[in-house]
Structure 1
Amino acid sequence: MPSQPVDLSASADSPLEVLVVSDVSGRGSKLGGVPVVSGEITESLAALPNVNVTLLTVGSTEKHGDARIALIPKTEDWESVRLLDVARNGQPSDVPGLPSPEEWRPDLVFGHSRYSGPAAAAIKERWYPEAGLGHFVHMPVRRYAQIQGRPQEEQDKIARIEQEVLGRADLAVGVGRLLTGVAREMAAANPRQPAFHEMIPGAEIVGPPVAPVRGETTNILFTGRVNDAIKGYDHLLRVVAELRERGVDARLRVRGVADWAVEAESRRAAEAVGGAEFVDIRPYTADSAELEADLAESHLAVMPSVSEGYGLVAAEAASRGLPVLVNAESGFGEFISDTTRVPEAVGRSFVVPDLGMDERPGERAEVWARAINNVITDYPQMVDRAAQLRAVLGDYSRRDAAAGLVEAFRRVAVDPRGHTVQGPNGVLLRPDGSKVPALRDTRGMSLGAMDYPNGMAPGAGAGRRAEEGRSARSGRSSAPRLPGPDRSSRKGM
C-alpha cells in the first residue's frame, strides 16, 4: 500500500531515517555500475548532517562511510534471490542486529533496479508500512535485453518486474535524464503514478587534473565488461584496428576483465587489433591507486556502449580532466549535450554521433575512428575542453546528488505526482529548467534540504522519533552500530 502524505508540521529536529535495500553494494562487489552507484548513493546520504542511513544487504560488503550495515546471512542462492526471500517471508529479527520495528523504523526505504526493488517494496509493505518507498532505475532494461538478443517475451518479463515496483513507489529516481524517461515509460501503464526525480550521480573533483602529454602514441582506456554486447567492446577492437591501418599509433588498455579470462582475452584482442603490443588487458580492480594510474597513463577514455543508462566510468574520467568520448545513447552523453548545463562547444565535442548504428557495426566503427582521430588531431584544445567539463562537474558532487534526493522526497508530500530535476549544487528544477520553490513549514519558514523530520508517515509521533540516545551535536545515534562488514568479495549474478 502506498504511503500517505508526509506530515510537514512535525519537528525538524530529528534525523531522517533511510533504509537502503541492495542485494550487493559497492565497488568491491565486482558486479558493475549498479552496485557502484548504489554504494556511492548510500555513502553520500549517510554523510548528510541530518540523515541516518542503514544499508540492508546480503552476505558481506565494504564500509559505506557513516552508514550502518545490516547483513542478511548468505546462502547458496544469488544475493538478489536471498534478499527477496527474506523480504517476502522473513522478519527484521531474521537479520542479525537489525532493531525491531518497535525500536526503530525508517522514514524512507530505497531499492535499486530489478535486483533489489521488489525486495525493498516487500520490506516497506510488510515491515515498515508507514515508510515512503523510493525506487532507483539504473538501466534501460528493455533496451538492454533487446541488444543482448533476448526474445520479446523475456524483454517484457524483465521490464514488468520494475514496472510493478514503480506502481507501488512514492518516488521514482532516474539516474540521469535518459533513465528518468525510462522510468516514466515503464510506469505509464500503471493506474498509480509516483513522483519522478532526475538525479545526477556525482563525480568527485579530487586533486589536480591528470596531465596527459601526447607523443607519437595515443593511449586509449576502456573500462567495463568485454563479454556483453551492450558495452560495444568488439566494436572498439575494430576501431583500434582501423586506426592502426591508417597509420595512427593507437594503443588500447582494457580494465575490467575477470581474472580467469585475462589470458584468453589478451590473445583474442591481440589478434583483432594486429598485435599483442597494441592492447593491454587488465583484470577488474577496486583499488583506487590502480584506477588512478589507468587514467594518468591514458590520453583518452572511451565509452563505446551501444546503450548506457548513465555511464559512471566516463563521468569519473571526465572528473579527472581526461578527454572522453561517449556514445550518444547514454545518460552521461545526454547530460554533457545539455547546453543548459554544459557549453555546447565543450559537451558535444565529447559525444560520438552514433545513434541508431548498433546494427551497422562497420558504419559505427568508422564514426568512432573518425571521432578518436579528431581528438588526436586537436589534442591540446580537447584537453582544454576537458578542463572546462571538469569545472562543470564540480557543481554536481555526490553530496549534491544526495541533498537533492532528500529534497525531492520531501516534496512528495506536497506534489505526489511531481517531476523534479537535479540542477547545479543540488538545487531542484522543474523539467522546463525553472527553479522549484523551497518548501515552507507551517510557520512560513523555509525548510532547508537537510532539515527534514524523522517519522515521515502519518502517526509518527514522539514514540517513533527515537531521540533517546542521539547525539545533540551530530544527530547520530549513540547506540551500538549494526554488525560491521566482511571485507571479502562476493560472487553475483
Structure 2
Amino acid sequence: MAHLAKTILIVNDEWGTAKGGISTVHRYISSLAADAGHNVYVTALQADEKDRKDAEEKRIKKIFTPEVSPYYPDKTPHRTWLIHHQSFFPHLKTEISKVDIIIGHAPDSHIAALLMKKDIFKQAQSFLFNHVIPEDTEVYSDDATPDKVQEMETQLFEMGEKFDVICSVGPRTKGHFSNKYRALVRQDTQHMEFIPRPDQKFFDIKMKEAPKDFKGCVFRVITVGRVKGVEKLKGYDLVAQAMSKVAESFHGMFQRPPKLVIRGVPRDESEETKQFFARHNKSPYLEVVPYPYGTQDEIRIDFQQSHLCIMASRSEPFGMIGLEAMATGIPTLVTTNSGLAEFINTDSSLSIYADSVVVDVGCNPSANKRDIHQWEEAIRKVLCNYSVAFKRAQAIKKILNESEAINTSTAIFQSLLS
C-alpha cells in the first residue's frame, strides 16, 4: 500500500556542496526524501540559479533563502539568520501550512530546526543528523579548552532528549553517541547509523590510468579541505612532511617528484596556507599547489586528473570526501582514526582491501615521527606500484556502487520518513 506523501523541511545553510561533508549529506538526504514521494523543502543562506535548477531536477519543491530588510546593516549571510528565522525566513510560516518532519544537522542547523519546530511547526516530528564528535576533533583546535569540549558534547547529548529520530553519520559517530545516550532520560528516541552514498556522478566517471610510456607524467596527490585553523586536525603537517620524503626519494631515483594538490583554500587564507606548507615542506623538490573551494563537478575533475587522494585527519567522524574519491575509482588512503575506516574494516566486501586503503596512524601529535613514516610508506607503495593500486581502486569502486550497507541505510531512513 502506498504511503501518504509528507511535507518535510530540511534546514541547512547551503544547497551546494562546496563546504564539504555536511552539505553533501544534506543534499543527498533531501533527494532521498523526494525520491520516496514526499514534498521536500530546504533552506539555504543563498542560492543561485544553478542551485535552484539542480534542486528542481531532484524534485525539491523550493529552496527558501533569507528575506533581508534593506535597512539591515550587514547583508553578509550568516548561520544565525537560520536561528532568527522569524526575521529572516518569515515566508516559511506563510508558504508552508504544515510540516510533518523537520530535519536539522549538528553542528550547523540543529538549533535552528528546533526553534522552527517550537515557533511554527509544533506538530512536526524532528530528525537530527549527527556529523561531529567534539571529544575527538576539538582537542586539536588552538583555542580548545576542557570547558569548551564539555559544553559541545553536553549540547549534542541533550539533543537526544529533544529530537525524535537521530541519524549518526557513519559507525564511529553512531558508536560515540550510542554510548552517550545511555544516560538519556527519554527512552523513545530512535538512533540509527546512516551511511551516505556518493552522488552517482562520481560512480559514472570512467577513470583512465596514465599510460606507462607517458613521458613527463607527474603524479598528482590530492587532499581536499581547508587548511587554516584545522592544520593539526586534518593532519596537513603529516602530509607535507611525508610527501617531502616521497619527493626526495623520487628525485634520488631520477624521476620527477609528485605534486601535492590542496583543494579548499579560500583566497583570503591563501598566504597563510602557503606559509604553513613552507614550514612543513622539507624538500626543495616538492611542489604544493593550492586551489580554492570546489564544486562537486570541479572535485570530480580533480580526481580524474590526479593519481592518489589522501584523507590524513588525526580524527574524522566519517570522511565523505574519501568515500567520494573511492566511488570515483582513484586510489585512496584514509586515516585509521575515521568513521570511513571503520566502515571499510567492518564491511564484509570492503574489508579485504582495508590494509591497502587504511593507514595505521595514531591520534596523538607526539607520535608525529612514526605517523609521517606510515604515510610516507603508504604513499610510496601506491605510486611505485600504480598499476596494481589503480586496478584495486576499480574493484573498490564496483563494491561501493553495489554496497548492501549503503542500500540498507537508505531503506531504513526512507522507512522512518513514512
How would you bin the TM-score normalised by the shorter chain? 0.7 to 0.9
Q: How does 1:163-202 map to 2 (within 5 A)?
A: 163-193=157-187, 194-202=189-197
> 5 Å matches for 1:426-437?
none
Partner of 2:110: 117
The residue number in structure 1 matching 2:206 is 208
2:309 is equivalent to residue 309 of structure 1 = no
- Closer, same or farther: CA 396–72 of 1 in aligned 2, 3 Å: farther
After superposing on structure 2, the runs of 4+ consecutive aligned residues of structure 1 that deviate more than 6 Å are 397-400
- Residue in 2 that maps onto 1:245: 248
Cα distance in structure 1, aligned partners of 2:112 and 2:149: 21
Q: Distance in 2 between matches of 1:206 and 1:189?
A: 44
- Would the aligned equivalents of 1:211 and 1:296 in 2 still touch at CA under 8 Å? no
1:280 aligned residue: 289
The Cα of 1:185 is off from its aligned counterpart by 3.3
Among 66, 73, 98, which residue is 2:67 paired with?
73
The structure richer in helix per residue is 2
The residue type equivalent to 2:339 in the other structure is G
Matched, 1:52 2:39: yes
| Aligned position for 2:28 | 40
Cα distance, 1:85 vs. partner? Answer: 2.5
Q: Equivalent residue of 1:23, what SS? A: coil
After superposition, what is the alpha-carbon deviation per residue over 1:210-237, rounded to whole angstroms, capped at 9, x for unaligned?
Answer: 4344667432111111121211111110
Give 1:162's match in structure 2, choosing from 135, 156, 161: 156
Structure 1 residue 376: Cα displacement: 2.3
Structure 1 residues 99, 128: CA separation in 2 closer, same or farther (over 3 Å shift)?
Answer: closer
- 1:23 match: 13
Alpha carbons of structure 1 residues 219 and 36: separation in structure 2 relative to 1, 3 Å: same
Bigger Cα displacement from structure 2, 254-263 vs 224-233: 254-263
C-alpha spacing 1:128/1:268, structure 2 compared with 1 (3 Å)? closer
User: More relative contact order in 1 or in 2 (CA 8 Å, sep 6+)?
Assistant: 1
Alignment check: 8 A CA contact 2:20 2:321 kept: no
2:404 pairs with 1:394: no
Which stretch has the larger CA shift, 360-369 or 377-386? 377-386
Quote the offset at 1:73 in angstroms: 2.8
Q: Distance in 2 between matches of 1:359 and 1:38?
A: 36
Counterpart of 2:226 in 1: which secondary structure?
Answer: coil
| Distance in 1 between residues matched to 2:316 and 2:155, nearest whole Å | 20
- Give the conservation status (yes or no) of the 8 Å contact 1:113–1:139: yes
Gaps of 5+ in 2: 252-256
Residue among 367, 370, 378 paired with 1:360: 367
TM-score, normalised to structure 2's length? 0.84
Q: CA deviation at 1:132?
A: 1.2
Counterparts of 1:282 and 1:223, CA distance in 2: 9
SS at match of 1:69: strand
377, 382, 385: which one aligns with 2:392: 385
**5 Å matches for 1:213-232?**
213=211, 217-227=218-228, 228=230, 229-232=232-235
Q: Distance in 2 between matches of 1:264 and 1:217?
A: 26
| Aligned counterparts of 2:67 and 2:14: Cα–Cα separation in 1 | 13
Does residue 371 (structure 1) correspond to residue 378 (structure 2)? The answer is yes
TM-score, normalised to structure 1, is 0.72
- Give the conservation status (yes or no) of the 8 Å contact 1:221–1:253: yes
Match of 2:262, SS state, is: strand
Distance in 1 (CA, whole Å) between partners of 2:241 and 2:286 is 16
Q: Given the alignment of the two structures, is residue 85 of structure 1 paired with residue 94 of structure 2, yes or no?
A: no
Q: CA deviation at 1:158?
A: 1.4
* 8 Å contact kept, 1:210–1:295: no
Contact 2:9 2:42 in 1 (8 A): yes
Match of 1:319 in 2: 327
Show the counterpart of 2:254: none
Partner AA of 1:50 in structure 2: G
Q: Is the 8 A contact 1:210 1:320 kept in 2?
A: no
2:267 aligned partner: 259
Match of 2:396, as an amino acid? L
Relative to structure 1, the CA distance from residue 276 to residue 286 in structure 2 (aligned partners, 3 Å threshold; closer, same or farther) is farther
Structure 1 residues without counterparts, runs of 5 or longer:
1-10, 411-451, 453-493
Q: Tell me how far apart the structure 1 counterparts of residues 340 and 210 of structure 2 sit (CA, whole Å).
A: 22
| Shift, 1:156, TM fit | 0.8
Q: Per-residue CA shift, 1:7-29, capped at 9, x if unaligned?
A: xxxx84531221101234422xx
The CA deviation at 1:192 is: 1.2
**Structure-2 change in CA distance of 1:187 and 1:118 (3 Å):** farther
Q: Distance in 2 between matches of 1:31 and 1:374?
A: 31
* Alpha-carbon distance, 1:137 to partner: 0.5
Q: What is the one-letter code of the residue matched to 1:197? A: M
CA distance in 2 between counterparts of 1:151 and 1:118 reads: 23
Q: 1:379 to 1:345 in 2, by over 3 A?
A: farther
- Amino acid of the structure 1 residue aligned with 2:204: V
Change (3 A) 1:402 1:125: farther
How far apart, CA to CA, are the structure 1 residues paired with 2:272 and 2:377? 29
Equivalent-residue separation in structure 2 for 1:255 and 1:147 (angstroms): 21
